[in-house]
Amino acid sequence: MTAGGVLESTAVQLQQLVAVEQASGRLPSMVAGVVRDGELAWVGARGSAVSLADSAPAGHDTQYRIGSITKTMTALLVMQLRDAGALDLSDQASVHLPGTAYGDRTLRQLLAHSAGIPAEPPGSWWERSPGVSFAELTSRLNADQAALPVARQYHYSNLAFGLLGEVVARTRGLSWFEALNTHLLQPLRMTRTTHSASPPCAEGFSVQAFADALTSEPSHDTQSMAPAGQLWSTIEDLARYAAFLAGPLAHIIRPATLDEMTTLQSGTPEEGLTAAYGLGFRLAGAGERTLVGHTGSMPGFQAGLFVDRERRTGAVCMANATAGMRCQGLPLDLLATLQRNEPMAPEEWRPVREVPADISEILGLWHWGETALLLSFEGSELVLATAAAGNARAAYRYRPVGSGRFLGVSGYHTGEMLHVARAPDGAVSHLECATFIYTRRPYDPNAPIPGGAA
Residue 388 pLDDT more than 80?
no
Task: Return d(Cα 255, Cα 309) in angstroms, integer.
Answer: 11
Task: Return d(Cα 365, Cα 382) in angstroms, integer.
Answer: 13
- Burial class from Cβ neighbours inside 10 Å (0-12, 13-18, 19+) for residue 197 reads middle
- pLDDT band, very low/low/confident/very high, at 9 (cuts 50, 70, 90): very high
Residue 379 pLDDT more than 60?
yes
What confidence score (pLDDT) does residue 332 get? 98
Residue 387 pLDDT more than 80?
no
Q: First CA to last CA across the chain, in angstroms?
A: 66
In b/e form, how buried is each residue of 221-252, taking b as 16+ CB within 10 angstroms?
ebbbbbbbbbbbbbbbbbbbbbbbbbebeeee
- pLDDT band, very low/low/confident/very high, at 353 (cuts 50, 70, 90): confident
Quote the longest CA-to-CA distance of the chain. 87
What confidence score (pLDDT) does residue 57 get? 86
Cα 327–330–334 angle (5° rounding)? 140
- 405-431 tens-digit pLDDT: 999 999 999 999 999 999 999 999 999
Mean of pLDDT values over 202-207: 97
Mean of pLDDT values over 3-30: 94
Mean of pLDDT values over 220-243: 98
What confidence score (pLDDT) does residue 454 get? 56
How many CB atoms are closer than 10 A to CB 134?
Answer: 20
Residue 19 pLDDT more than 70?
yes
Give the C-alpha distances (Å, rounded to integers) separating 4 from 41, 258, 312: 4, 25, 13
Residue 141 pLDDT more than 90?
yes
Task: Return d(Cα 288, Cα 452) in angstroms, integer.
Answer: 40
Residue 66 pLDDT more than 70?
yes
- pLDDT band, very low/low/confident/very high, at 394 (cuts 50, 70, 90): low
Candidate from 50-59, 254-263, 369-378 with smallest mean pLDDT: 50-59
What confidence score (pLDDT) does residue 3 get? 41
Domains (ranges, CATH) in the chain?
8-341 (3.40.710.10), 357-438 (no CATH)
Please enumerate in sequence order all residues whose Cβ is within 8 A of that of 164, keeping only pairs 6 or more positions apart, or say none: 74, 75, 78, 107, 110, 111, 227
Tell me which H or E stretch contains 433. Answer: strand 428-433
In b/e form, how buried is each residue of 150-169, taking b as 16+ CB within 10 angstroms?
eeeebbbbbbbbbbbbbbbb
Task: Return d(Cα 210, Cα 109) in angstroms, integer.
Answer: 42
- pLDDT band, very low/low/confident/very high, at 12 (cuts 50, 70, 90): very high
Percent of the chain with pLDDT over 70: 97
Q: Name residue 292's beta-bridge partners.
A: 283, 307
Q: How many CA atoms lie within 13 A of 322 on its CB side?
A: 15
- 277-307 tens-digit pLDDT: 999 999 999 988 999 999 999 999 999 999 9
| Amino acid letter, residue 61 | D
Tell me which H or E stretch contains 10. Answer: helix 8-25
Residue 215 pLDDT more than 70?
yes
What 3-state DSSP class applies to 110?
Answer: helix
What 3-state DSSP class applies to 12?
Answer: helix
Average confidence score pLDDT of the chain: 95
| CB-based contacts of 403-407 (< 8 A; 24+ apart in sequence) | 403/358, 404/358, 406/382
What 3-state DSSP class applies to 152?
Answer: coil
- pLDDT band, very low/low/confident/very high, at 391 (cuts 50, 70, 90): low
Residue 1 pLDDT more than 80?
no
What confidence score (pLDDT) does residue 44 get? 97
